[in-house]
Amino acid sequence: MSRTLTLALCRRLPALALGLVLAIGALVPARAAEPIKIGLGMSLTGPLAANGKAALLAMQIWVDDANAKGGLLGRPVTLVDYDDQSNPATVPGIYTKLIDVDKVDLVVGGYATVMLAPAMPVVMQHNMAFIGLLGLAVNSQFNYPKYFSMTATGGPQPKETITKGFFDIAMAQSPKPTTVSIVAADSEFAKNASDGARANATAAGLKVVYDRTYPPATTDFSPIVQAIQAAGADLVVVCSYPLDSVGMVRAANEIGLKAKMFGGAMVGLQTTSTKTSLGPALNGIVNYDFWLPVKAMQFPGVLDFLKKYQAKAAAAGVDLLGYYIPPWAYADLQVLGEAVEGTKSLDQEKLGAYMREHSFATILGDLKFGSNGELAESRVIQTQFQHVKGNGLDQFRETNTEVVLWPPQYKSGDIIYPYTAAKE
């Protein structure tokens, strides 16, 4: 090869190499946009798992729906989740890993007050916006401006809202009750709920004749119910977590509790598996709930969501009806998604400011947050179990066995009073 030809080829090599790269690039599809990662801990094992697993399924449905519409900011969305085992001690480590190791773009809370509170210091340290799922007054001890509570309790005094309807209903009866017993687990949620119950009792002019807490590990509730019975209160307010609630209901039926109203803030009685397990033992209980398919609460999109959820529920091993936590879990990510699209950003300050200032269209209707991060207005309902027969599932699909008593705009039936009359 001549020196002239060699020099000519050398001069052309960079151009040839560039052409080859461009040709190969034309044959290889452009790399997909990096996904937006949403991190969370969720109770998938342990005593809170029944609600936690249902919540996670609802969130996964939202991710599928969002990605079918193009994701957020033109990027797909994915969840990065870890099992917190229903153990608050695991939570700080999970959120530290999510933020520092997994480098998630956004974080949301898992389920329940007791699991949200230990996440708060980590989230605050990293200055991230944070939406908590079904936590009662979590921010009352932190006052963090970028915390938002996705739960029906709301207003300036969220602790009171979970039992306000219970007391309003009671004081509308004739003759009016005069005494109340309050019993609560020694845990974050129950303490907050019992604080609210005492405030409501004082506002109603009721005398508190029994006021006790019990250890979270309690399994035998007969002595507690016997003590309540001995106190002879007209009203019995129980602030409990799922396993406690079941134990309390069984003990009340075995002992034959004579209160005029019984219930209030018992977590767990909202889930389908608990309803079918307890069956007629539920009759007469007046207790909080956050959503039921009464006509007035059939907001746009909620029934379509439930069709998707219920189609997946059996295979996922979760609550078959999904009336309690799943709509709130889906709405949780709706709010986050709307904030991201509204700000066109993943900047935490911008997201926090947007969530404080805007209302959000969700499957639970239009929601807006107040200055304390709680919903601006309470959405708690009080229901009563009536005419439950046997342990069949279908009787709980409609609302004739669990009627909404309060507030008036969602009311679907009247109370059977006193409690003992509903047991007949």
- 129-162, pLDDT tens digit by residue? 999 999 999 999 999 999 999 999 999 999 999 9
Which token pair is 186? 């020694």
In this structure, what DSSP letter does residue 30 have?
A: P
> How far is 242 from 245, CA to CA, in rounded Å?
5
* Dist CA 152 CA 355 (whole Å): 17
| 331-334 CB contacts, 8 Å cutoff, 24+ apart | 331/150, 331/360, 331/362, 331/363, 331/364, 331/367, 332/59, 332/108, 332/131, 332/133, 332/150, 333/38, 333/59, 333/62, 333/63, 333/66, 333/108, 334/62, 334/360, 334/361, 334/362, 334/363
Cβ atoms of 412 and 403 closer than 8 Å: yes
| CATH superfamily of the domain spanning 158-289+386-422 | Response regulator (3.40.50.2300)
CA distance 309 to 20: 50
Are 366 and 360 in contact, with CB atoms under 8 Å apart? yes
Task: Spell out the domain ranges in the chain.
Answer: 36-152+299-368, 158-289+386-422
Whether the model clears a pTM of 0.85, i.e. scores above it, the answer is: yes
- Determine the distance from the C-alpha atom of residue 337 to the mean position of all C-alpha atoms in its chain, rounded to a whole number: 17
CA distances from 173 to 16, 178, 207, 229, 233 (A): 91, 11, 17, 21, 15
**Under CATH, to which class is 36-152+299-368 assigned?**
alpha beta
The domains spanning 36-152+299-368 and 158-289+386-422 adopt the same CATH topology:
yes
Locate 405 and state its tokens: 């008593």
pLDDT tens string for the chain (424 positions)? 444 434 443 455 444 444 433 444 444 443 468 999 999 999 999 999 999 999 999 999 999 999 999 999 999 999 999 999 999 999 999 999 999 999 999 999 999 999 999 999 999 999 999 999 999 999 999 999 999 999 999 999 999 999 999 999 999 999 999 999 999 999 989 999 999 999 999 999 999 999 999 999 999 999 999 999 999 999 999 999 999 999 999 999 999 999 999 999 999 999 999 999 999 999 999 999 999 999 999 999 999 999 999 999 999 999 999 999 999 999 999 999 999 999 999 999 999 999 999 999 999 999 999 999 999 999 999 999 999 999 999 999 989 999 999 999 999 999 999 999 999 8
